[in-house]
Amino acid sequence: MTQYGPTHLIPLAVFVVGVVLAVRLGRRHAVADGPTGFSRTCALLIPAVTVPFQVIDLVYNFDVDVTLPLHLCDLAWIAATWALWTHRRFPVALTFFWGLTLTIQGVVTPSLNEDLPHPRYFAFWALHLLVVWAAIYLVIGLRKAPRWRDFGAAVATTVVWAASTYTFNVLADTNYGYLLRKPRTSVLDLLGPWPWYVAEEIAIVFLAWALMTLAAQRAFGTDSSRSGPHGVEAAVDVDDLARRGREQV
């Protein structure tokens, strides 16, 4: 697939529309007490779309260099499914950080050899778009901001993945996670040669995640659910103000 050719621009247009819908639906569902039917339907949709394509690849198009689910995006859809079903902090944080800094790179600068109508083309775009939309829906829409402990847990999980995947790459002569070689064309071209680009990427991602955590907390608070489904906290604040006014009188 040619970057920014017709078969790339079409998914980009779909992506933009999906972002708008994810934010609007998330804001509408933010008053719900726990995961909505929509959220859990999306949680089921992600594996329903991605797993069949991965099975087809494993059975009929197996290639040790690209088929195994060892890219971080392959873990991101699992985190997104978990997050959409439960709204728990840890998977929400993983989806937020992985989706909006790493998976989104595949949307902007996809490294994909196959084009329409190859099954891998559809699998690639389904996985990447759904994960990023999930991250936007959960954090920007529902305002479920990660805490600093969630940031730390996400960093630790990513380090474990990187160490494990790097070891596999060395043993199997593969390049999952692009930890041994840069992809054909990507934002990694702005960084230095191997292994420096790996260290630079780690530093950039760490800083970006820290800034994202800070920004999300300032924008949405550390616990978006604290006001409850009917704005209980807001009502309490109003009562407090009224009581103080009466005391002053």
Break the chain into its structural domains and give their ranges.
10-229
H helical segments located in the chain: 6-29, 37-60, 72-86, 89-98, 104-108, 119-135, 148-172, 196-220, 232-248
Distance CA 28, CA 21 (A): 10
User: Which pLDDT belongs to residue 189?
Assistant: 81
Distance CA 111, CA 178 (A): 11
Distance CA 201, CA 134 (A): 24
109: DSSP letter:
S
User: Which pLDDT belongs to residue 224?
Assistant: 44
User: Which pLDDT belongs to residue 222?
Assistant: 54
Residues lower than pLDDT 50 in the chain? 224-249
Entry pTM: 0.83
Spatial neighbors of 218 by CB under 8 A, at least 6 apart, are none
Q: Is 118 helix (H, G, I), strand (E, B) or coil?
A: coil
User: Which pLDDT belongs to residue 215?
Assistant: 94
End-to-end distance of the chain based on CA atoms, in angstroms? 72
User: Which pLDDT belongs to residue 188?
Assistant: 81
User: Which pLDDT belongs to residue 114?
Assistant: 84
Spatial neighbors of 134 by CB under 8 A, at least 6 apart, are 22, 42, 46, 80, 83, 84, 95, 99
User: Which pLDDT belongs to residue 227?
Assistant: 40
